Amino acid sequence: MSTEAVIVDVIRTPVGRGKPGGLLSGVHPVDLLAGVLDALVNRNDLDPALVDDVIGGCVSQIGEQSYNLTRNAVLAAGFPEHVPGTTIDRQCGSSQQAATFAAQAVLSGQADIVIACGVESMSRVPLGSSAAGADPYGSRIRTRYPEGLVNQGVSAELIAAKWGFSRDELDAFAARSHELAAAAQQAGSFASEVVPVPGVDGLTDETVRPGTSVESLAGLNPAFRTDRLAERFPELDWRVTPGNSSPLTDGASAALIMSASKAEQLGLTPRARFRSFSVVGSDPLYMLTGVIPATAKVLERAGLTHDDIDAYEVNEAFASVPLAWLADTGADAAKLNPRGGAIALGHALGSSGTRLLTTLVNQLEATGGRYGLQTMCEGGGMANATVIERI
């Protein structure tokens, strides 16, 4: 590596319910991301003219999230017109991939300062709307998978069945997520990472439900069962509910990434450095299991073991995903999502990668931990993983 890629700052909006009437549902996604970009440079007293590129993640790139949303947000934030922006889609890992691309640009010497970011307004641009009623697969995928691929909820069911997780285990993990997130809220642990959204009152994550218990979740019905799917997968007893899944969410987040030498030149103090990256493909039917090989790969590249990792952020798209990850990796469960995960804090798809990075950096700083690992399952059967080191 020709230089070090460091994280100078990481921020996010409060999380809003991704439905009409949610905290952020009245904010256009371009404005939502622009507000985060503006806050990031302002609180670091950084001249935005110095930014080489802005790389943003967004999944449903249609309607209000089309036409290269990130470039539009760069202009809406008032950055000079010469600052470019591009929008990428690696499904749920889009902004984690944005951070990887940003760091790699710095490491290769092709950029000094890059902002990685992401946004998703699921209240205004509903999940799945980017298909616009058309076939996103084509005939050759149907030939390769003649029985057809399935949605992520069914994949979560298949994982729960394969690993043998009961409904109570899934609900218990979901209750843990809300308990930890509520405790973090109460302790003010998110105060340094959450920035105001112009025109919106409130800095509290809207999706956290204090007092959630296995008993309160037990009455919820399975979310993804249909008669056709039940016939195709008779081994499933349908345990995945809205309660042990991540909610529809609105949000934006961003990370200020630069070379260590540029940070020193500007008088900025790096908070963490990137140690290693990985991205893998996985079985698109099970879809969400890529976090397991991605974790093994990123640790090997970093020259580390699980004993070296002080905190993990494994995205809680569904409770069965981090539970399967724990079962296969043997990682310390106490280090997993210690401030709660996406079941409580939401999963604003394009924003989630840099949201996890934001929480991970702050957790390492609060505890004095050295190494953190984040990994994200993704639609189509993929996963990203990243190891960072607190400075």
Catalytic center residues: 92, 347, 377
Exposed, middle or buried, 378 (CB in 10 Å: 0-12/13-18/19+)?
A: buried
Distance set, CA 350 to CA 23, 94, 97 (Å): 18, 5, 10
Is the distance from CB of 200 to CB of 24 less than 8 angstroms?
yes
Is the distance from CB of 155 to CB of 288 less than 8 angstroms?
yes
CA–CA separation, 103 and 225 (whole Å):
41
Distance set, CA 290 to CA 1, 31, 152, 277, 383 (Å): 26, 33, 13, 14, 5
The β-bridge relationship of strands 371-378 and 382-390 is antiparallel
Q: Collapsing DSSP states into helix, strand and coil, what is residue 217?
A: helix
DSSP code of residue 247: P
Place of tokens 């997968």: 233
Is the distance from CB of 386 to CB of 116 less than 8 angstroms?
no
